[in-house]
Amino acid sequence: MRLVTVPLEEPWAIRERSLLVRELDAMPGCVKELIDSFIKSQVDKISDGC
């Protein structure tokens, strides 16, 4: 099965998400890396003007 990503450039397609942690410093390294990747992807989108 071949899947294709289709970007949606409609206002209704934008989703706001939050990630809450009690103590970030207490999280395992892999969780911190995952959170960092989420943050980086959002910063990249903002930098690209999306």
Flag whether 38 is in a domain: yes
Residue 42 belongs to a domain: yes
pLDDT of residue 7: 86
Distance of alpha carbon 28 from alpha carbon 36, whole angstroms: 13
Domain that residue 41 falls in: 22-49
CA–CA separation, 16 and 48 (whole Å): 18
Q: At CA 34, angle to CA 30 and CA 39, rounded to 5?
A: 145
pLDDT, tens digit, for every residue of 10-37? 888 878 888 899 999 999 999 999 999 9
| 29 in a structural domain | yes
Q: So what's the pLDDT on residue 47?
A: 74
Residue 2 falls within a domain, yes or no? no
Per the structure, how many domains does the chain have? 1
The answer to whether the predicted template modeling score (pTM) of the entire model surpasses 0.85 is no
Q: Within a domain: residue 45?
A: yes
What value does the mean pLDDT take over residues 28-48? 87
